[in-house]
Amino acid sequence: MMDQLIFASEVLVNGLMTGVMYSLVALGFVLIYKASGVFNYAQGVMALFAALTLVGIQQGQVPFAHLINAMFGTHLEHFGWTVPSVLAILLTAVVMIGLAWLIEKLVLQHLVGQEPIILFMATIGLAYFLEGFGDVMWGADIKTLDVGLPQGISDTVEATTAEWFGYGYFIDRLDIWATIIAAILVAALVAFSQYTKQGRAMRAVADDHQAALSVGISLQFIWIMVWSIAGFVALVAGIMWGTKSGVQFSLSLIALKALPVLMLGGFTSIPGAIVGGLIVGVGEKLFEFFIGPLVGGATENWFAYVLALLFLVFRPQGLFGEKIIERV
C-alpha cells in the first residue's frame, strides 16, 4: 500500500509538470480570445512554425532551399555558420512579431466587424497556410532542437526523494526548467496586464471594443501587440515541446490537448489556463496509473476530453471564465 502511494506521488509530480506544458499552449489561446474574441485555431501551428524557424536560424539553414534547388538545379542546404541559441531565440521572436503584424495587416484588418465564426474560419485557413509555408521554408524532416536546456533524470531529485521515501523519483530536468520558465512567463503576463498602460488598454479592448475606441485606444495596435505576445508564448511552447520530442509536424497537434485545458479553466482567464493545465496533467496521469490497467490502458488519449465534457455540462464557462448573460 505504501509503495503504491509513493508511486502515485511520483505520478502526481510528473502530471503537474506535464500540465504546465499544456498550460503554455493554452495561454496563447487565452490571450487572443481575451483581447479580440477570436478563437485562434492556428496557435498550435504557430508553436510549430516558431520551433522550425528557431532550428533553421540556429543551424544556418537556407530558407526555401528545397524550392530554390528544384527551380534552379542548385544544391543549397546551409550557409555554413551556426547561430548561438540566445541570438537565435531573439531573431525568432522578431520573426514572430513580424508574423503578427502581417496577420493583422493581411487578414484581421479586412475582417473587422465580421461574425466570430468568420474570424474562426480565417484562423483555420491561417493554420493550414502556416503549416504548408513552414514545410516549404524549412523542410518536412524531423529536426532536433537544443537550446542548452538541461535534460535527463535529475540526480538531485532522485537522491533527495530516495533519502526521504526510500525511493528515488525519476523527474526530467527539462520538465523542471519548463515549470520554472512557465511560472516566470505567467507572472510576467499577469503583471503586464495589471500594471502597464498597454496591459490596461488590452483589458479595456477585451471588455468593450467600442468603449475602448471612444477613449482613443487603437484596436490595430492592441491586436498586433496581442498576436505578438501570443507568438512569443508559442515560441516558448515550441522550444519546450520541440526539445522534448523533436520538431516535427505532429507538434501542431498539441493545440488539441490545450482545448480541454481551456474548457476547464475558461477561455478568458490566464490563471484558468494554468489551473486547467495542472488539472488535466495530474488527472490524466493519475487516471492512467489507477484505472488504466483495469480498462486496457491508453486512457491518456481520451481522459482530458471526457473531463472537459463534464465541465461543459455543469459549468460551461469553466472554473475561472466569465459567465455571459444576454438579455433579450
In the DSSP assignment, the letter for residue 5 is H
Model pLDDT, residue 325: 54
Model pLDDT, residue 323: 61
Give Cβ neighbours of residue 292 (< 8 Å, ≥ 6 apart). Answer: 298, 299, 300
How deeply is 208 buried, as exposed, middle or buried, from its count of CB atoms within 10 A (0-12, 13-18, 19+)?
exposed
Report the Cα–Cα distance between both ends of the chain, in Å, rounded.
58
Model pLDDT, residue 90: 94
Q: How far apart are CA 166 and CA 162, in angstroms?
A: 4
- Single-letter amino acid, residue 262: L
How deeply is 299 buried, as exposed, middle or buried, from its count of CB atoms within 10 A (0-12, 13-18, 19+)?
buried
At 247 the three-state DSSP class reads strand
Backbone φ and ψ of 120, nearest 5°: -65, -45
Model pLDDT, residue 326: 52
Q: How far apart are CA 293 and CA 299, in angstroms?
A: 9
Task: Determine the Cα angle at 115 with ends 113 and 118, to 5°.
Answer: 110
How deeply is 25 buried, as exposed, middle or buried, from its count of CB atoms within 10 A (0-12, 13-18, 19+)?
buried
Q: How far is CA 104 from CA 35, 208, 230, in A?
A: 13, 19, 13
Listed residue (123, 147, 173) closest to 17, CA to CA: 173
Model pLDDT, residue 57: 93
Model pLDDT, residue 257: 77
Model pLDDT, residue 225: 87
Model pLDDT, residue 292: 84
Whether residue 118 contacts residue 41, with contact meaning beta carbons closer than 8 Å, is answered with no
Backbone φ and ψ of 78, nearest 5°: -135, 155
Model pLDDT, residue 129: 92
Cell of 133: 509555408
Per-residue pLDDT tens listing for the chain (328 residues): 677 788 888 888 888 888 888 888 888 888 888 777 788 888 888 888 999 999 999 999 999 988 888 888 888 888 888 999 999 999 999 999 899 889 888 888 788 777 878 888 999 999 999 988 988 898 888 888 888 888 888 888 888 888 887 778 888 888 888 888 888 887 888 788 788 888 888 877 777 777 777 878 887 888 888 888 888 888 888 888 888 888 887 777 777 778 888 888 888 787 888 888 889 889 998 998 888 888 887 888 888 889 888 888 888 877 876 665 555 4
Model pLDDT, residue 322: 65
Radius of gyration from C-alpha coordinates of the chain: 21
* Predicted model pTM: 0.85
Q: How far apart are CA 44 and CA 257, in angstroms?
A: 10
Question: Per-residue DSSP letters for 95-161?
Answer: HHHHHHHHHHHHTGGGGTT--HHHHHHHHHHHHHHHHHHHHHHH-SS-B---SS---SB-HHHHHHH
